[in-house]
Structure 1
Amino acid sequence: MREGYIALRKYGEILLVVMVLLVLYFTSLNSYLLFHSLAEIFTVVVACGIFVLTWHSRRFLENNYLVFIGLAYLFIGSLDLAHTLAYTGMQIFPGYGTNLPAQLWIAARYMESISFLIAPLFLARKLRVNFVVSCFIVTSSLLLLSIFYWNIFPTCFIEGTGLTAFKVISEYLISSTLLASVLLLVQKRREFDVDVLRLMVASIFLTIGSELSFTLYK
């Protein structure tokens, strides 16, 4: 009985994912802006969900890698939300053009990839949650100030030309950093449940795939 329930639940989850993908696909045919907004908001909700789950279970989680990544995703999600709001057509940040969302995207991906790269360090040492959160607050603030106030963040997109060399090189650097994080993760595989490890590796490889696809964007 229990096995049948588990199998039915898995099929239900697969069906839900397929339905969501179909809705997004047909939405993209009618309005790319709406499609982009829905897809990005979904990722932001997932990122915030990861943080909330981690925050409320941080005292019980023995794996500091997962705690660190969970904390990181609050700030990654915040940058992704800013990217979504800045997307061309949203008209929330007038006067910035297409370069702004590209800059915010790259900032978020750098934070994500570097977080995955350094997370294994906390498997063998104590994680001071307040210190980590403070570091992420400072880093996020500096990134946003460099984009919105100081205007020193490198240009990622030029109207009429397309992606800049910085944007393309950054995508490759981010992908390389994520790949290195996978290698470190595999080296520490004994610290993880097999299913958790597989999901983590799969999610990172999917992120690498999405990053490489953006190098082809015109």
Structure 2
Amino acid sequence: MAVKDENPPNYLSPPKLRQDWLLILVFVLVAGILIVGWLPRIFYFDMDQSVFLTLHLVLMLFSVVVSCTVFVAAWYDFKQTRSWRELVLCLTFFMVGLIDVAHTLSYRGMPNFLTENSLNKSTLYWVLSRLVESLGLLTAVVINPIRKSKLNPGYFLAGAAVFTLVIITSIGYYHPKYPPMFIPGEGQTWLKVFLDYLVIVLKGIALYHLIRLGRKYSADYYLQAALIFGIFSEAAFTLYASAYDTYNVLGHVYKIFEFAYIMRALFILSVVRLYQTNTVLHNQKRQMAEINLQLEKANRLKNEFLANTSHELRTPLTAIIAFTELLLDEETGPLNNMQRDYINEINESSQQLLNYINNLLDLAKIEAGKFEVHREAVSISDLCSSVLRKTEPIFKVKKQQVIIDVEDNIPPVYVDPPKMMQVLINLLSNAHKFTPEDGRIELRARMNDRRDQVIVSVSDNGVGISSENLELIFEKFRQVNNRPEPLYQGTGLGLALVKHIVEMHGGQVKVESILGQGSTFYFSIPLIGGEKSE
């Protein structure tokens, strides 16, 4: 059955307005300049400290949450892609989140953080956070996204955590020794303004690099918007004269938009990767469906060929066996020793070939779902004796001793006699094949301890099977052999058919073997009444 070729949505394409992106960018820049430089001057005011702290706490809490979200998203993406870009974004926003927490806790009016809070202390944390952010974004934009990291990311994360905590502690305890960033009554120092412009330049380079590359992914457009809002935010921070005035509030609002667009870009990248993975899986599923159809057709043709060929071969082979048995009975006249040996060889090879053909025919029936079991009450003792009569000639050739040991008073079992004989013949033939001349083979039948199953076993003192190959011997066409050329002839179907026939009778097959000492195959037959056929 072919898979319907569905067309999932294309998350790779940029927004529908991408053709007007340049016009929108110019409009946003003009509006941003007006909002940052003109409107706050008209509506300038100093906010009440308690109101500002509440608003600032809410805005910074959102920034910290976004930083943590970006960190988690980038970390997850890095675990999937091992991309250096994702690692840089992950470490950047991990550090930014920690430093922004320190910045929030260091404002005047908040409980003292490490040492007595001051505007200069909180400003130091803020400038450090923005420098880390801008450097991280620039590195993430410039770095090749295809480049993979083979190093353990845990070391980078631990190193970033230690470095950030050291810096936070150092500023917390020794901020009076650092160059001042904000002087109450005077405003910002030239160093603080210079560092703000440095952040603007770094983000501007990153924005230019993104625009110059002209990428077609929508995530790049969101990242460009984030950088624009970041530039506006830093521009507002260069203008405030009081820590509680309009410019400072506006800068924090722009910062929220910047972080929100960064998070949106990472989300889009995650969706893109998911889409790409689903597209690959979708194509593979369709290809697998087509391959399965071809395999199903080939398997059906193979089964038909095996069934027809096996049937056509079995008819003349049965006649050959019948005539060789007539010759061996000397009904057509006496035979000399050489003639009898030759006919015995013909009979043994014909019996072996007939067994192979029967196995192939049964395999075709099993795979076609036409393998039937017709049950009737049978004596295990009679079944074993009948099998031994059929297989006796092959054991005489190698002068192997075959012993039958059937427990007395075993009740009749409901089995398919021809198929159960096939199980025993396959196990005895397998023992004969892997047991040397003058070897010993034992066929035993016993009741289990609960007296609800018959346990039949075939043991030999042949070559044995290694422990790692015990599970492989029941696979179709599998012959365990360490040599490149076949050491023992056979199709590799005998034990697979044994397992299937026994399981159809409700039993199980087990094997015990020691390499170089021999093997014992067990199978169970439940003592239950049943229908005449299945």
TM superposition score normalised by structure 1: 0.76
Q: Does 1:136 align with 2:174?
A: no
Q: How many pairs are equivalent?
A: 190
Matching residue within 218, 222, 225 for 1:202: 225
Q: Structure 1 residues 139, 44: CA separation in 2 closer, same or farther (over 3 Å shift)?
A: same
Q: Secondary structure at 2:81's aligned position in 1?
A: coil
- Residue identity opposite 2:225 in structure 1: A
Q: Secondary structure at 1:123's aligned position in 2?
A: coil
Q: Runs (4+) of structure 1 moved beyond 4 Å?
A: 187-190
Q: Does 1:179 align with 2:198?
A: no
Partners of 2:90 and 2:214 in 1: how far apart? 18
Aligned 1:1-218 pairs, distance under 5 A: 31-61=51-81, 63-93=83-113, 95-119=116-140, 120-123=142-145, 125-127=147-149, 128=151, 129-151=153-175, 152-190=177-215, 194-218=217-241
Q: Which structure is higher in strand share?
A: 2
Shift of 1:60: 1.9
Q: Structure 1 residues 126, 153: CA separation in 2 closer, same or farther (over 3 Å shift)?
A: farther
Structure with higher Rg: it is 2
Q: Structure 1 residues 130, 62: CA separation in 2 closer, same or farther (over 3 Å shift)?
A: closer
Task: Note if contact 1:107-1:143 (Cα within 8 Å) is conserved in structure 2.
Answer: no
Q: Secondary structure at 1:106's aligned position in 2?
A: helix
Q: Secondary structure at 1:178's aligned position in 2?
A: helix
Shift of 1:57: 3.2
Partners of 2:155 and 2:125 in 1: how far apart? 24
Partners of 1:90 and 1:214 in 2: how far apart? 21
Task: Note if contact 2:120-2:180 (Cα within 8 Å) is conserved in structure 1.
Answer: yes
Aligned to 2:526: none
Partners of 2:169 and 2:51 in 1: how far apart? 32
Q: Structure 1 residues 62, 134: CA separation in 2 closer, same or farther (over 3 Å shift)?
A: closer
Q: How many percent identity over aligned positions?
A: 28
Task: Note if contact 2:75-2:86 (Cα within 8 Å) is conserved in structure 1.
Answer: no
Partners of 2:117 and 2:224 in 1: how far apart? 36
Q: Structure 1 residues 133, 185: CA separation in 2 closer, same or farther (over 3 Å shift)?
A: farther
- Residue identity opposite 2:239 in structure 1: L
Task: Note if contact 2:67-2:97 (Cα within 8 Å) is conserved in structure 1.
Answer: yes
- Could you tell which deviates more after superposition, 131-140 or 97-106? 131-140
Structure 2 spans left out of the alignment, 5+ residues? 1-8, 10-46, 242-534
Task: Note if contact 1:61-1:67 (Cα within 8 Å) is conserved in structure 2.
Answer: no
Partners of 1:196 and 1:183 in 2: how far apart? 16
Q: Structure 1 residues 189, 76: CA separation in 2 closer, same or farther (over 3 Å shift)?
A: farther
Task: Note if contact 1:146-1:153 (Cα within 8 Å) is conserved in structure 2.
Answer: no
- Residue identity opposite 2:160 in structure 1: F
What is the CA deviation profile of residues 111-144 of structure 1, one whole-angstrom value per residue up to 9, with x for unaligned ones?
0011112222253533343353245235424432
Partners of 2:205 and 2:218 in 1: how far apart? 20
Q: Which structure is higher in helix share?
A: 1
Q: Structure 1 residues 184, 206: CA separation in 2 closer, same or farther (over 3 Å shift)?
A: same
Partners of 1:33 and 1:150 in 2: how far apart? 24
Q: Structure 1 residues 182, 205: CA separation in 2 closer, same or farther (over 3 Å shift)?
A: same
- Residue identity opposite 2:75 in structure 1: W
Q: Structure 1 residues 178, 153: CA separation in 2 closer, same or farther (over 3 Å shift)?
A: farther
What is the CA deviation profile of residues 122-179 of structure 1, one whole-angstrom value per residue up to 9, with x for unaligned ones?
5353334335324523542443244123444321111221111111111000110111
- Residue identity opposite 2:203 in structure 1: L
